[in-house]
Amino acid sequence: MVAEPSLTLERRLLREHSLLICLDEVGRGALAGPVAVGATVVDAAAARRRVPQGLRDSKLVPERRRAEVAERASAWAPASAVGWAESTEIDEHGIMRALGIAASRAIIAACAETYDAAEALVLLDGNHDYVSAVHPGALRVRPIVKADRDCAAVSAASVIAKVARDALMVQLASAHAAYQWERNKGYASVEHRAAIRERGLTRHHRSSWAIADAPTLF
């Protein structure tokens, strides 16, 4: 049985910080399409509420249920947003800086005119802070390994970003049917790689990557 994420860490940290901004990325390893970073803003009042039903790291939520789980996650969080970095930005800056660009955009959009990111603690899934070097202004960032699995607010950011990016890839697929992005979402499936060999790259592919040598993921 897959363990459910909890708000244990968030509640503890909110004794010391008035606000948390929780981040997770989607699309880092894809061959095509943007990378997306989801952001959820969580305060003490939100952390006292129950974890949205069905919430998990987005990779663990069945595809047919992700949209409804993302909707519940968005309703639960006081604010949320998705930030993007396009394939051209990945090619220009590299994937890690592109993640920082997307994360910074997500933070700015989630905070908008309501919250001050400088007053928040940023929880970032993973073991590397790719945000601070990019975001305009000082941030307190805490990377946490497996936060998308264990921390409900990060899981919420994960599923919100996953649903948004999948929807975009399905939309892009209508003009690029051979690559089957509606199925593989830009990742290295057998069909996707075969289409690349036959037809070459589109403007949505990450052309700086060694795509011909990319391993097949499924």
8-213: CATH topology is Nucleotidyltransferase; domain 5 (3.30.420)
Say what the pLDDT of residue 108 is: 98
Task: Check residue 182 and give its pLDDT.
Answer: 97
pTM attached to this predicted model: 0.94
Classify the C-alpha dihedral 123-87-101-80 as positive or negative: negative
Give all strands of the β-sheet with 20-26 in edge-to-edge order: 79-85, 35-42, 20-26, 121-125, 140-144
Which residues are 25's β-sheet partners?
Answer: 37
Q: What is the DSSP letter of 31?
A: S
**Paired residues of 26 in beta bridges:** 36
Locate the domains of the chain by residue range: 8-213
Instruction: Give me the chain's average pLDDT, please.
Output: 93
User: Which residues of the chain are under the pLDDT cut of 70?
Assistant: 1-2, 210, 212-218
Q: What is the pLDDT of residue 180?
A: 97
With tokens 């990060």, the residue in question is: 154
